[in-house]
Structures are given as structure tokens and as C-alpha cells.
Structure 1
Amino acid sequence: MSFNQKIQKEFQHLITFKKTNRKWPIPFLVAISMGTPLLVGLYFGNLQYGLTACLSGLVMLYLPDLGSFTNRILTVMVCSFGFMVSFAFGLLFSFNPIVSAIALGVFSMVVHWIILYYKTAPPRSFFFILIAAMAICQPFNLSTIPTKVGLLGLGTMFTAILAILYTFLLFTKDPEIASSPVVPVFKKNPAADFWEALIMGGFMLLSLLIGRLLHYSNPYWIPISCAAVMQGASLYHIWQRTFHRILGTFIGIGLTWLIITVVKTPLEICLTIILLQTIVETLIVRQYAIAVLFITPMTILLAEAANPIYNSPTTLITLRFVEIAIGSLLGAIGGWLLYKEKIRFATIEKFNQLKNSFKR
């Protein structure tokens, strides 16, 4: 394939919308799951509490498309518990910059290995790492940890109730779904790639450490961007995601600047987050590059709405673009390591050796 053909192929990817099996109510359920805690927090005069609780709405993305009623709800419950553990872990290890980087690396490695071992479907380990990274970069205050974890827990309870109601209506509307074969919640994978988990953990450690050394106020943007790119299904997919993420972020930054200069009141911020979240969840399974245009302003509003730097749009946007670009490039390097054939071959060989030793 010539260079011009490759360029044309990549351009085609930028304008092509993929087909998806995701049911249309899911984006709206995610928006409701995130938007309700935001509006409740706003109503009681504490937007920061609302921003903390609304992260739990992302649990809805783990609701399976297949399986029995029990299977689907159990998955949401397990992931809700995982969100709370991720958040609590991050808050507990935020007391020291170096310790927090090491802790995030170890946590990411363990979580990613568990996800691989049980063959969990996308979004896999990403949101667990995202929540842990955001929590581990918050100022350490032991007395506030129970309150923050409790807020996230309340949010997951609300999301789980929505998931139960939606699944119940789905099964009532189409009885054939209830008679479908039972799908295991988690499928064990004894050949889970330990090296992949180790590389993921190592790059999470490195990305947060770089942010700390550069003295960024919210360095979690680097590991989050790195993790998002490394979630690619193949080496080509990872490089493609890197390109799409940096390009989408660059254009999305302009949209973010426009939104920040216009959206000022807390109510406007909440409504904008809800709208952007709906658009993102509708687009991300169809066209990643275009979805990133809206991911950028949505995540910045979600993370920075209660931050004083929100009132300085140019400074805020410059910092976030640099952090996202660094994280995306690190993710591309990490993805290249993940899909090196030598690493996969060594992993398979190691597993076979262990299996043979147990047989003896």
C-alpha cells in the first residue's frame, strides 16, 4: 500500500461511522446516572459533592448486552464495588507524590490482570484506572475520605437502580431475551497475559510520575490519556487511537475554550456536562475521533468545574492539551510494547512451562 493510499485510508476512518450493537437507551441512561447527582449536588449548594458522586454513572457502561437478568445486575454490582475500591485506594495513597505514582502503577497492574483473567468486555480496566488516578491526585485529607467514598457509593446505588429498572423493562418488552442462554459474568482465562498487566502498571506509574515531576496541578490527565490509548485492540488500533486522540483533542480544545467562555453558572455547567456526555456515549462506539471532540470539553468541565483555574480558560486549556498529548504519546509507546510478538511469545512459553510443572 502506497503512502497516499494509507493517507486516504486514515482519512476515510475519520469520516466513517461504524455500526454498533449498543442499544440506543444506554447513552441516555449514562447521562441520567451522571446528571442526577450533579443536579442534586447543585440543589444542595455543593457542586463538588455532585461532581464526585456523578463519576459513579460510568458504571452503566459495564451493563452487559447479553445474559440473564441476574447476570447483568450482578455485573453492575461487582463493577460498582470496584469503583468504590478504586476511589478509596486512590484517596488513601494520595499523601505523597512518589508513593502515589507507585501505588497507581501497582493498582493498575492488578486491576488490568484481573480484567484479563476474567475476560471482561470493554471498557475493561479503563474506568477503574481513571477513578483511581483522579482520586490519587486529590489533596490528602484522611477525615474526608469516608464522605467522598460514601458519595460515590450513593451514586453507584442510584445507577444500579436505573440498571435494574431498564433491564426489567427490557426483559418485559421482549420475553425471548429472558429465555436466552445464561452467559457467565466472568469467563476465566488461565493464560492471562501477566506481561501486559505489568506493562500497563509500569506506564501508569511512569505517566503519573512525569506529571508529578513537571508539577502539574492535575497530573492525572497524563495517565488517563495513556490508559485510553493503550486500550486499543491491536497495535494498529493503538497508533490510530493516538492520532485520533491528539487530533480530536487539538480541535476539541477550541470547542472547550468556547464553552468555558460562555458557560459560567453552575447550572449551565451541569446541563452542558449532561449534554456532552450523551453525545460522547452516542458517538464513541461509532466514530472515536469525532467523539474525542466532545470528550475533551466534557472531561475538562467534569474535572475542573469546581477548580479556581476554570476562570482562566487560556491557562487551563494549554495545560490540559500538553498533558493529554504527553499521555497519548506515552500510550502509543506502551501499546507498541504490549503488542511486541516477543513479549507475547515469552508469556505463552512461560504459561506452558508452569502448566507442565504442575502436571509433574
Structure 2
Amino acid sequence: MRRPLRRNVVRSRRALRSVVQLTPAPWRWQVGLEAGLALGLPLGLFTAIGQLGWGLQAALGAFTALYGASLSRRDRLHLLPLVAAGLVLAAALGVACSGNVWLTSACLVIVSAVACTLALGVRLGPPGPMMFVLVAAVSSHLAMPKVLGGVGLPGLPLIGLVAVGSFLAYLVVILPLLWPSVRQRNGPPTGLRTLFPRLHLDADTVVLTVRIVVAVAVASLVSRPLGAYRSYWVVLSAVAVLQSSPTRRLTAIRAVQRVGGTLIGIGVFELMALAEPSGLGLVALLVLLQAATEVVVARNYALALLFITPLALMNSTAGHVGSSLVPVEGRLLDTLLGAGIALAVFGVGEGLQHLYVKRLHSNRKASEVHL
């Protein structure tokens, strides 16, 4: 009796240690610098002309710079236009479906299914399908009429601003190739056909995709009574927990990191909000938070959430005059709900898998007996 108890205690300690410990991955200084500049360019340019809100909308396209970080700049030269096109298309779908809450839910399910199939199927790498779902969800919320709980921004300018942000992010990544030393250091391009030879949907990819799509559908339905301004955070929390791994242990760790990091991140936001940052000061703070996120996220996801959470909260509470803003404390409840839905979907899916495998074995044994 003592041995199983001791074994469970040891496992619990290891799991807790995994939540807070730093992984052996390097600090991503270059990625952080690029991410900060990609966010800062549209924010700074539009803030300088008195249009911070436009800058925040264009910042959705800045996620382009996060993809292909492990590749050479020459390879990213060809990859990132495809990523940018995907983000703009996700924004367009979000805007197109923003007039109806049911269509919005269907849009998120479709975007998550396509993004998971492509991003996971070709092994695109971090941040995976998450940003496409995020852009679709946020764009839908921003363009949704106020009577439905949205911000009520015009849709076509929003799509155009996302495209502008994507283009500026692309420039941040490829402009260093103008220097001969950078071109020499990067060497010849490998080619996208070599890096991503074909779409390969193995068992893990299919399982991850199904879990994420189901979680997005469930999260959209369950969180609808909370309002459009909170629903998308629940959806994103569910996706963030599930997309990291098909295994039970890593999924549970990601859920704990998501909730714990968000809780502490809210405290960080409250402290920063005391300074009431505005104008270019707010831009500088958002740039630092974005850069810090990308530097540390590969080492520990909970640590990254200390920067992700205040970044998201400052973004949602700035530049949208007249919008209905979610209470900060509500973000923690939304995160708990999203993580809970993710774990529930994982548990039910795993149970169904076990039943399916068990049934296959039973049928096989029955056929062997008849033979």
C-alpha cells in the first residue's frame, strides 16, 4: 500500500517541477527582437498619427514574424508570405461571419480544422495553428455589431490593417538580407519543397486536430452566455492547452501553466496599469512584453504568460473607444473554463480511443476463435 502511495507522491512532485522548471531550450533573443519590432512598427507608426486603434488592429498581422524562427532568412523569405496570406484570410473569415454568433462559432471551427491540418500536417512549427485561430476570433469580435457584444468596427479596413501589419512583419524579417554579411551567414535557401515536402497526417496529428476542433466547438457554445468579448478568450485557452502535445502528462502540465501563468500575469497587469501608460509609452511597453514573451516561451510557458497576459489585457483595453471591456478578473475565469474544456475533451477522447482499441482486440480474438 505504501509503495503505490509513494510512487504517486513522486509522480506528483515531478509533475509540479515540470510546471515551473526551465527546459533546456535556448533563450530566443533574435526571435524576441524580431517579434518586438514587428509589433512596434505598426503600433508606433499609427500612434504617431494619432490612430492607436489602427495600430492595434494592424498588430494582428505582426504574428507573421513568429513563424519559421528556426529557418534561415532566405527560407523565411518564401515561407512568410504564405503565413501572412493565411492570417489575412483568417481575419477575412472572422469579419465575414461576425454578423451572426452561430456563423462566428462555425468560422472558428473551420479555421481551427484547416489551420491544424496544414500547420501540423507539414510540421510548420511554433506557434502552430494558434495564431490563425486567434486572428479569426479577435477579428470577428472587433467587427461584430455592438448589439451582439462586439466592438462594431468596420470590417474591410480591419482586414486591410491586418495585411499592413503582416507586410511590416515580413519586412522586419527579410530586410537584414540587404547586408552581404547576413546573406553570407544564411547561405543558399533550402527550398520550401525540401523543408515541407508533403502533407503528412499521422495518428498524432489526426488526434490533435480532432481534439482541438471539438474543443473549439464546445468552448464556443459553452462560453456564448458570457458574451462575445469573453468567448474568444475561452476558445484560445482551450486551443493553447491542447495544441502542445497529444500526451496526457504534457497536456495537464500545459493546463496548469496556462491557469497559473494567467493568474500571476493578471497581477503584473494590475501593477503596470497603475502607471496608466499611454501613447508611445504604451507602445514601448507592448513591444517589450511581446519581445519578452518570445524570448522565454520555449523555456517555460507559464513564465511566458507573465508577459502574454498583460500584453493581451493592455491590447484589449486600449484604442477601442466605446467598446464593452471585460473585467480583468474575468480573464482568469475564462482561462479556467477553457483549460477545463480542453482537459474534458482530452479525457473523453482518450476514453473513446481505449474503448475502440479494446473492441478491436475483442473482435480479433473472436475471429481467431471461429477460425
TM-based fold match above 0.5: yes
Shift of 1:199: 3.2
Shift of 1:49: 0.4
Q: Distance in 2 between matches of 1:14 and 1:191?
A: 29
The answer to whether structure 1 residue 73 and structure 2 residue 77 are counterparts is yes
- Counterpart of 2:93 in structure 1 is 89
Name the CA shift for 1:128/1:340 in 2 (closer, same or farther; >3 Å). Answer: farther
- Counterpart of 1:60 in structure 2 is 65
- Counterpart of 1:104 in structure 2 is 108
SS where residue 191 of structure 1 aligns? coil
- Counterpart of 1:245 in structure 2 is 258
Q: Which of residues 217, 222, 225 is equivalent to 1:205?
A: 217
Q: Distance in 2 between matches of 1:344 and 1:160?
A: 47
Is the Cα contact below 8 Å between 1:119 and 1:187 reproduced in 2?
no
Deviations 1:304-325 (A, max 9, x none): 223469998xx72111111111
Q: Which of residues 343, 361, 368 is equivalent to 1:332?
A: 343
The answer to whether structure 1 residue 46 and structure 2 residue 51 are counterparts is yes
**Cα RMSD (Å):** 3.0
Name the CA shift for 1:198/1:39 in 2 (closer, same or farther; >3 Å). Answer: same
- Counterpart of 1:354 in structure 2 is none
Query: Which stretch has the larger CA shift, 247-256 or 18-27?
Result: 18-27
- Counterpart of 2:162 in structure 1 is 152
| Residue identity opposite 1:186 in structure 2 | F
Shift of 1:16: 2.5
The answer to whether structure 1 residue 35 and structure 2 residue 40 are counterparts is yes
Q: Which of residues 171, 175, 198 is equivalent to 1:165?
A: 175
Name the CA shift for 1:181/1:35 in 2 (closer, same or farther; >3 Å). Answer: closer
For normalisation by structure 1, the TM-score amounts to: 0.85
Q: Which of residues 123, 127, 138 is equivalent to 2:127?
A: 123
| Residue identity opposite 1:222 in structure 2 | V
Shift of 1:201: 1.9
| Residue identity opposite 1:236 in structure 2 | R
Q: Which of residues 18, 23, 28 is equivalent to 2:23?
A: 18
Deviations 1:12-47 (A, max 9, x none): 334432232575211011001001111112111111
Shift of 1:298: 0.9
- Counterpart of 1:229 in structure 2 is 241
Query: Which stretch has the larger CA shift, 285-294 or 174-183?
Result: 174-183
The answer to whether structure 1 residue 302 and structure 2 residue 315 are counterparts is yes
Is the Cα contact below 8 Å between 2:265 and 2:310 reproduced in 1?
yes
| Residue identity opposite 2:116 in structure 1 | H
| Residue identity opposite 2:42 in structure 1 | P
Shift of 1:207: 1.1
List gaps (5 residues or longer) in structure 2: 1-5, 146-151, 361-371
Shift of 1:299: 1.1
Q: Distance in 2 between matches of 1:236 and 1:114?
A: 25
Q: Which of residues 2, 5, 12 is equivalent to 2:10?
A: 5
Show structure 1 runs of 4+ deviating over 6 A: 309-312, 343-346
Q: Distance in 1 between matches of 2:166 and 2:321?
A: 28
For normalisation by structure 2, the TM-score amounts to: 0.82
Is the Cα contact below 8 Å between 1:29 and 1:162 reproduced in 2?
yes
Deviations 1:70-118 (A, max 9, x none): x321111100000100011101101011221122112211221222332
| Residue identity opposite 2:329 in structure 1 | T
SS where residue 263 of structure 1 aligns? coil
Q: Distance in 2 between matches of 1:337 and 1:282?
A: 35
SS where residue 219 of structure 1 aligns? helix
| Residue identity opposite 2:123 in structure 1 | K
Is the Cα contact below 8 Å between 2:31 and 2:69 reproduced in 1?
no
Q: Distance in 2 between matches of 1:96 and 1:174?
A: 48
Query: Which stretch has the larger CA shift, 30-39 or 145-154?
Result: 145-154
SS where residue 327 of structure 2 aligns? helix
The answer to whether structure 1 residue 178 and structure 2 residue 160 are counterparts is no
| Residue identity opposite 2:304 in structure 1 | A
Deviations 1:279-314 (A, max 9, x none): 1111111111111122111111122223469998xx
Q: Distance in 2 between matches of 1:344 and 1:182?
A: 43
Shift of 1:124: 1.4
SS where residue 189 of structure 1 aligns? coil
List gaps (5 residues or longer) in structure 1: 350-360
- % identical aligned pairs: 20
The answer to whether structure 1 residue 187 and structure 2 residue 197 are counterparts is yes
- Counterpart of 2:299 in structure 1 is 286
Is the Cα contact below 8 Å between 1:18 and 1:286 reproduced in 2?
yes
Q: Distance in 2 between matches of 1:261 and 1:112?
A: 39
